[in-house]
Amino acid sequence: MKRLLMVAASLFAFATAASAQDAVGVWQTEVDDGSYAHITIAPCGAAVCGVISRTFNADGEYQSENIGKTLVIDMVPQGGGAYEGSVWRPSNDKIYIGKMDVSGNSLRLRGCVAGGLLCSSQNWQRVG
């Protein structure tokens, strides 16, 4: 019985990690407060995390103080391209309940308050 539980747990972990692969890559955010960024999403344990890898404004690419900071935090796959975790918003330095939906080369990211009832969202496009 113990061996069966270990095999089942291993299969679940593998399935969760495999389903997280749809979010892995480089994504371009929408313009927010006059700039946008490229976010590199990669596995972080059983979840995925996204780090600010490049930043852009009206003048082109620039070196923001936020490069290297984690924006998408511990997004755990829920199945069907849905994820739940946390999101950091650089403009106000706050962390929100995060929800993410991935479909092909499109990603919808939501930062929510009030237990997830009130959300602000962005639509991102895969760039790499």
pLDDT score of 7: 34
Q: What's the mean per-residue pLDDT of the chain?
A: 86
Phi first, then psi: give them for residue 67, nearest 5 degrees.
-60, 135
* Interatomic CA distance for residues 98 and 60, integer angstroms: 28
**Spatial CA neighbour of 2 closest among 91, 10, 73:** 10
Topology of the domain covering 25-126: Lipocalin (2.40.128)
> Which tokens belong to 86?
């946390």
Task: Give the residue-averaged pLDDT of 92-114.
Answer: 95
Find the range with the poorest average confidence among 13-17, 30-34, 51-55, 59-63: 13-17
- How far apart are the C-alpha atoms of 4 and 65, rounded to whole Å? 49
> For residue 20, is pLDDT > 70?
no
pLDDT tens-digit map of 51-72: 999 999 999 999 999 999 999 9
**Cα-flanking dihedrals φ and ψ of residue 23, to 5°?**
-95, -15
Q: What is the length of the chain?
A: 128
